[in-house]
Amino acid sequence: MRLAGTIFTNVTKMLDFYSQFNPSPLSIKQFIDFGLNACERKSYLFLRKELPVRLANIMKEIALLPENLLRMPSVGLVNQWYERSFEEIIQFEKMEPEPTVLTQFCQRLVHIRNRHADVVQTMAQGVLELKESHEVDTGTENSIQYFLDRFYMSRISIRMLINQHTLLFGEQLGAKQASLNGIGNGGRHIGSIDPACDIAAVVRDAYENARFLCDRYYLASPELELLQNGVPSGRPMPVVYVPSHLYHMLFELFKNAMRAVMESHEGSPPPIQVNLVLGREDVSVKMSDRGGGIPRSVTDLLFKYMYSTAPQPSKSDSHTVPLAGYGYGLPISRLYARYFHGDLVLMSCEGYGTDAVIYLKALSNEANELLPIFNRTSSKFYRPVPQIADWSGSLNTATISQCKNKDKNKDNMSPSVSHTL
């Protein structure tokens, strides 16, 4: 018992230590440049410091959650996963990058990634447990919304770092040289990044998979009308990006669009139009459907984790892919878009249809990670704040967060240069 207590104390001290540092945001260009000249030793030395910082920053925020939510079994399970992963990573803190250590580190990262595979669903289940057992007031709901945006963004960033290292150096895809020579891994990928990601191909892939689900549910599905700059085109549109991130966003949008179209039209459903536009600053992917649209009063709610227009999935559905479920698809898709400083916005005409636009940075050196940062002021964002009703009350959490970015001492998601470790 005394030994266990000593280990817990040491981990707590390390958690306090690493949470003092800001995460170091990277750009897609930095990921690419490192991957082209990949050095496993350098990656190891960076990750053995950076991963504990990112884990510690978000673990400190987990501790600030409302007590009722922390008591939920599923939230406790997620907390245990993070504590275990943090403890396993800091074991490498003073190990020299010898070949055996590098192999152990890569294997440990794969193990951690697998452990956290169900974090989104498990945390969502924890929120459901809270809703079913307690009254959730507006202040608590706002705190949960604020936390989940940051928690899931942190998870995206941690998985990105782990995937880059394991794809470049892990044995499951061959050695580094095989990856760089285009053997396996899609031929040209650098880790999980495709330097010539064909947006049109990802659109078609996401459409076909969503269409498969739609056909199962409705026995029919809308066709795809793919445009580039407003005109039909079969040409590829390459951009430096993470194909899996783009696919995640598109698959979610196609599912929503198809469901809306099929439920608002009998007989022959109108097509879903996707227009790809390459600008100087942004690559825009605009998806337009004629699914009846969304009332303005509902549009903002679609990005809230505690709101869903679809029936909640049962635990027995955990191994299936429902056309709709927890209601986390849109908010997490928006986080994927914002992760590299893009965005996802909805514009709807009630009674007609909805436009969804994904914005990606056109230049890889401007596509920086957007990371949550923990500091001493963080606790105030988890306390209920009195709501002032006036015409300017539309300032939401995201807007307030943008204002806070002007003060580097405030708690935010910031692309700024971090403290030196």
Report pLDDT digits (tens) over 43-81: 999 999 999 999 999 999 999 999 999 999 999 999 999
- Report whether 21 contacts 373 (CB < 8 A): no
CB-CB neighbours of 296 under 10 Å = 9
| Range of weakest confidence among 102-111, 219-228, 355-364, 381-390 | 381-390
CATH number at residue 240: 3.30.565.10
Tokens of 229: 């700059």
User: For 149-177, how does the pLDDT look when each residue is reduced to its tens digit (9 = 90+)?
Assistant: 999 999 999 999 999 999 999 865 444 43
| Chain Cα centroid distance, residue 26 | 15
- Report whether 151 contacts 98 (CB < 8 A): no
Distance from C-alpha of 387 to C-alpha of 393, rounded to nearest angstrom: 8
Show the domain range for 14.
Answer: 2-190
Residues 74 and 135 placed together within one structural domain of the fold: yes
Residues 287 and 141 placed together within one structural domain of the fold: no
Q: Given the residues 61, 141, 252, 369, select the one marked as catalytic.
A: 252
Q: Identify whether 253 is part of a domain.
A: yes
Q: What is the mean pLDDT of residues 301-322?
A: 61
Residues 66 and 209 placed together within one structural domain of the fold: no
Q: What is the mean pLDDT of residues 292-315?
A: 78
Residues 60 and 152 placed together within one structural domain of the fold: yes
Nearest to 301 by CA among 260, 342, 331: 331
Tokens of 11: 């981990």
Q: How many domains does the chain have?
A: 2
The phi, psi pair for 232, rounded to 5°, reads: -60, 140
Q: What is the mean pLDDT of residues 102-121?
A: 96
Q: Given the residues 60, 165, 248, 341, select the one marked as catalytic.
A: 248
Q: Given the residues 22, 163, 256, 275, select the one marked as catalytic.
A: 256
Q: Identify whether 271 is part of a domain.
A: yes
Q: Identify whether 415 is part of a domain.
A: no
From 158, 190, 222, the end of a domain falls on 190
Q: Identify whether 142 is part of a domain.
A: yes
- Name the one residue in this structure whose structure tokens are 């890889």: 364
- Is-catalytic flag, 286? no
Distance from C-alpha of 295 to C-alpha of 316, rounded to nearest angstrom: 32
CB-CB neighbours of 223 under 10 Å = 12
pLDDT of residue 10: 80
Residues 148 and 263 placed together within one structural domain of the fold: no
| Range of weakest confidence among 71-80, 196-205, 383-392 | 383-392
Tell me: pLDDT of 403 over 70: no
CA distances (Å), 132 to each of 124, 138, 396, in order?
Answer: 12, 16, 26
- Is-catalytic flag, 29? no
Instruction: Give the percent of the chain with pLDDT over 70.
Output: 80
Dump the DSSP string for 358-369: EEEESSGGG-B-
Sign of CA dihedral 84, 52, 162, 338: positive
Residues 34 and 82 placed together within one structural domain of the fold: yes
Q: Identify whether 97 is part of a domain.
A: yes
3-state secondary structure of 64: coil
Residues 272 and 291 placed together within one structural domain of the fold: yes
From 348, 366, 384, the end of a domain falls on 366
pLDDT of residue 380: 75
Residues 163 and 307 placed together within one structural domain of the fold: no
Give the pLDDT band (50/70/90) at residue 389.
Answer: low
Residues 219 and 143 placed together within one structural domain of the fold: no
Which pTM value belongs to this model?
0.86
Residues 149 and 295 placed together within one structural domain of the fold: no
Distance from C-alpha of 67 to C-alpha of 305, rounded to nearest angstrom: 19
CATH number at residue 83: 1.20.140.20
Residues 161 and 281 placed together within one structural domain of the fold: no
From 190, 215, 236, the end of a domain falls on 190
Helix spans in 223-344 (H): 243-264, 296-299, 329-339
CB-CB neighbours of 343 under 10 Å = 12
Tell me: pLDDT of 411 over 60: no
pLDDT of residue 8: 57
Residues 205 and 186 placed together within one structural domain of the fold: no
Nearest to 246 by CA among 319, 304, 282, 197: 197
Distance from C-alpha of 303 to C-alpha of 324, rounded to nearest angstrom: 14
Q: Identify whether 132 is part of a domain.
A: yes
- Is-catalytic flag, 49? no
Neighbouring-strand partners of residue 288: 273, 355
Q: Identify whether 126 is part of a domain.
A: yes
Q: Given the residues 255, 286, 341, 410, select the one marked as catalytic.
A: 255
Tell me: pLDDT of 221 over 80: yes
Q: Identify whether 377 is part of a domain.
A: no
Q: For the chain, what is the radius of gyration of the CA atoms? A: 22
- Is-catalytic flag, 256? yes
Tell me: pLDDT of 290 over 60: yes
